[in-house]
Amino acid sequence: MLDTSLMDIVIKLNKDYAVNTDAELKIDKNDINEELMKQPSKIAWFSVLYALAIEKRDGIKNDLEFVEAELDKAVRSNPTSYGIDKMTEGSIAAASHSDELWIKTKTDLIAANRDVNILSGVVNAFDHRKDMLVTLCANMRQEREKELFFKAREKGVINGK
């Protein structure tokens, strides 16, 4: 049995979006018409979340680049305040990467990348869901045609009998 608690995700954008992907991706074969009608709006919604997650991640990347540039200037202008005796690119990077703002921004970027990757997978899963819906509809059509064929055969309509 699939542990659906593992399927709960929280995407942090302009607000938190809590989603149970298992419930969203699940197909009710007993109400296939409803599932077909819900598919476009579901994939559209998750595509919007995916685009927003990319936008947020790219903004944080820009923030990190700005923080790194500012720290680089600060360290180069006053290396002793950062505990640097000998100025090298490695010592400048090490001093920058130990800064609290850099650490926080880098942590935010890691979380934003996680959200982008999760939503990419969810959007991809909805594409697979669409394929499954098409397959289920085709299978149901074949079953219905067979059922009609056998009913017609029982009544003697097939082969002039």
Q: How many domains does the chain have?
A: 1
| Contact status, residue 49 vs residue 120, Cβ threshold 8 Å | no
Grade residue 85 by pLDDT with cuts at 50, 70 and 90: confident
pLDDT over 50 at 65, yes or no: yes
Alpha helices in the chain (DSSP H): 21-25, 32-77, 89-97, 100-154
Q: Please report how the helices 32-77 and 100-154 are oriented relative to each other, as an axis angle in degrees rounded to 10.
A: 170
92 within domain boundaries: no
| Contact status, residue 44 vs residue 122, Cβ threshold 8 Å | no
pLDDT of residue 71: 93
32 versus 14: which is more confidently predicted? 32
Mean pLDDT of 121-129: 92
CA distance 60 to 77: 26
Map residue 85 onto helix, strand or coil: coil
90 within domain boundaries: no
Pair of tokens at residue 76: 């180069």
CA distance 144 to 142: 5
0.85 surpassed by pTM: no
The backbone region for 156, taken as left when phi is positive above 0, alpha when psi lies in -120 to 50, beta otherwise, is left
Pair of tokens at residue 121: 């997978």
85 within domain boundaries: no
CA distance 61 to 39: 33
96 within domain boundaries: no
93 within domain boundaries: no
82 within domain boundaries: no
Residue 15 domain boundaries: 4-62+102-160
| Contact status, residue 9 vs residue 21, Cβ threshold 8 Å | yes
Nearest 5°: the CA angle 4, 112, 22 is: 15
36 within domain boundaries: yes
136 within domain boundaries: yes
